[in-house]
A and B are shown apart, each in its own frame.
Chain A
Amino acid sequence: MGSDLTLYLVVATALAFDFTNGFHDTANVVATTISTRALPPRVAVTLAALLNFVGAFLSLAVAATIAKDIVDQQLVTTTIVFAGLVGAIVWNLVTWYAGLPSSSSHALVGGVVGAMLVAHGTAAVHFDGLLGKVLIPAVIAPLLAFAVAGVAILVCYRVVGRLAPGPVSRGFRLGQVLSGQMLALAHGTNDAQKTMGVITLALIANGNLGKDASVPTWVVICAATAIALGTYIGGWRIIKTMGSRIIKMDPAQGFAAQGAGAATILAATHFGYPLSTTHVISGGVMGAGAAKRLSAVRWGVAGNIVVAWMLTLPCAALVGGLVYAVTRVFGGGAAGPVVVALTGVGLLAIAIARRLQRGTAVPAQPEGTRA
């Protein structure tokens, strides 16, 4: 058995990461539903949180990919997982501050890979799994959602084009209630599983679970609760600030975008691909917009996503590796992770105190910037 203190730190950090994932992603999941007035904001956020929770129980294929296909399980330690998580959180905070639309999912994978590289070198990383299960699907999935949403909206317009717009809009608003909930379900199942995978990896590394063990039920429940709580609490901030930031779409576009996003995420989740859900949803929204009018798409956001694709994995890996190196300065026990955790909490407390002193709200997360 390894250090239980480090394991506790890993579990707490992973759940905090999961919470922030839900917090940031609420905008992506509910924005379209709210902007077309398919549902009142309170109802949309509450339903999204509930469906996020339920979605986490649907599948464990992505968790298995994170736990088994990316790094060598036998060489993983709880300190490596901790360093990877801190690397992902730090990179997420940096990109959030800089307004770069990064993916939490890619940051998590990058952080763990970076810490593993520093600890054991290239032999400890499954580069084939990284490429085949993470990088290639990361490129394909948003393009797929873009194409599906684009064709879907053209089909919708073709079928209902000559009808009175009033009843058609009411119909698609009803449809959005359904497609929005499917999107929340898909988001919950793909994103919560990443945390489950990381916690399982740490439990295996610490000797609490066998090499081929499946994800324990308590891990599933904790991850589901953390992402649902994050979604619920994050939603209230979105409601307050949504007026100026939500893309204007008609209900048919919202339905097509959400349906395309949900279909892509659920299909990929079934085969264990850990996607950036934000990139997929953004792809769907852009596809539905581009099919109607090319200028409706925020091509600047699309460009930022491409930049984020290229930067997130290597930069999170760099931070993860650096954090691991810092923990090693304090020896092989729990001292290093404890010092890093205390430093992180201290810096966070100072940042919050400064914000409060200045009397300004924390800047809102731009829509479509997290996964």
Chain B
Amino acid sequence: MIAPATKIVDLGQLVRVVEVALVAGIGVSLAFSLAIRGAVRAGEHRRERPLRAGAHALVAAAGLLAVAAAIGFGVSTMLAK
């Protein structure tokens, strides 16, 4: 006998997989894109507008940190189980 569909499929687990994949996949892409944007803009403004360049460099650093944090969190979660 096969159990009812709700018992067969752990919907909570599946939803969690979907959530994590969406947040990690899109979040890391967003953070890395912001890092690239910040780095490119910082390079463009380096001579004429050093303050603005500094702000863009901060955005780039924050983006890279977010990517590193996401990867670190993901790997540590895998290892913790």
Cβ of B37: which chain A residues have Cβ within 8 Å of it? 159-160, 163
The CA of A156 and the CA of B41, in the complex, are separated in Å by: 16
CB-based nearest A residue for B74: A266
Which residue numbers of A lie inside 8 Å of B, CB to CB? 58-59, 61, 127-128, 131-132, 136-137, 140-141, 144-145, 147-149, 151-153, 155-156, 158-160, 163-164, 167-168, 171-172, 175, 178-179, 182, 185, 189, 252, 255-256, 259-260, 262-264, 266-271, 273
Q: A163, B8: Cβ atoms under 8 Å?
A: no
Q: B14, A140: Cβ atoms under 8 Å?
A: yes
Prevailing SS type, chain A contact patch = helix
| Minimal beta-carbon separation of A60 from chain B (angstroms) | 8
Closest 8 A/B residue pairs (Cβ): A171-B36, A148-B25, A159-B33, A152-B29, A263-B25, A263-B24, A267-B20, A260-B25
Cβ of B7: which chain A residues have Cβ within 8 Å of it? 128
B65 within 8 A of A: no
B49 within 8 A of A: no
Q: B34, A164: Cβ atoms under 8 Å?
A: no
Prevailing SS type, chain B contact patch = helix
**Known contacts A155-B29, A167-B40, A255-B32; is A148 also within 8 Å of B22 by CB?**
yes
CB-based nearest A residue for B41: A163
| Minimal beta-carbon separation of B73 from chain A (angstroms) | 11
The contact sample of 13 A-B pairs, CB cut-off 8 A, is: A58-B78, A132-B10, A144-B22, A145-B21, A155-B33, A159-B30, A160-B33, A171-B35, A189-B78, A260-B21, A262-B25, A266-B24, A270-B17
CB-based nearest A residue for B22: A148
With an 8 Å Cβ cutoff, the count of chain B residues facing the other chain is: 38
The CA of A137 and the CA of B15, in the complex, are separated in Å by: 11
Cβ of A271: which chain B residues have Cβ within 8 Å of it? 10, 13, 16-17
Cβ of B53: which chain A residues have Cβ within 8 Å of it? none
Q: B18, A58: Cβ atoms under 8 Å?
A: no
The CA of A15 and the CA of B24, in the complex, are separated in Å by: 32
Q: B14, A136: Cβ atoms under 8 Å?
A: yes
Cβ of B39: which chain A residues have Cβ within 8 Å of it? 167, 171
The CA of A127 and the CA of B8, in the complex, are separated in Å by: 9
Q: A59, B81: Cβ atoms under 8 Å?
A: yes
The CA of A131 and the CA of B5, in the complex, are separated in Å by: 9
Q: B36, A153: Cβ atoms under 8 Å?
A: no
Which residues 48-77 in B have Cβ within 8 Å of A in the complex? 67, 71, 74-75, 77
| Minimal beta-carbon separation of B46 from chain A (angstroms) | 13
Cβ of A255: which chain B residues have Cβ within 8 Å of it? 29, 32
Q: B8, A263: Cβ atoms under 8 Å?
A: no
**Known contacts A58-B79, A152-B26, A171-B40; is A144 also within 8 Å of B21 by CB?**
yes
| Minimal beta-carbon separation of B11 from chain A (angstroms) | 10
| Minimal beta-carbon separation of B70 from chain A (angstroms) | 9
| Minimal beta-carbon separation of B12 from chain A (angstroms) | 10
The CA of A145 and the CA of B2, in the complex, are separated in Å by: 29
The CA of A122 and the CA of B36, in the complex, are separated in Å by: 56
The CA of A264 and the CA of B71, in the complex, are separated in Å by: 13
The CA of A160 and the CA of B10, in the complex, are separated in Å by: 39
Cβ of A269: which chain B residues have Cβ within 8 Å of it? 78
The CA of A137 and the CA of B29, in the complex, are separated in Å by: 24
**Known contacts A156-B33, A168-B36, A178-B67; is A132 also within 8 Å of B9 by CB?**
yes
Cβ of A164: which chain B residues have Cβ within 8 Å of it? 40
- Apart from A148-B22, A148-B26, A263-B74, list 9 A-B contacts with CB within 8 A: A128-B8, A140-B17, A144-B17, A151-B26, A171-B36, A255-B29, A264-B17, A266-B24, A270-B78
Q: A266, B78: Cβ atoms under 8 Å?
A: yes
Partner of B17, one of A167, A179, A256, A267: A267
Q: B3, A152: Cβ atoms under 8 Å?
A: no
Cβ of B33: which chain A residues have Cβ within 8 Å of it? 155-156, 158-160, 252
Cβ of A141: which chain B residues have Cβ within 8 Å of it? 17
**Known contacts A58-B78, A167-B40, A264-B21; is A131 also within 8 Å of B2 by CB?**
yes
| Minimal beta-carbon separation of A250 from chain B (angstroms) | 13
Cβ of B43: which chain A residues have Cβ within 8 Å of it? 167
The CA of A147 and the CA of B18, in the complex, are separated in Å by: 10
**Known contacts A160-B36, A171-B36; is A264 also within 8 Å of B9 by CB?**
no
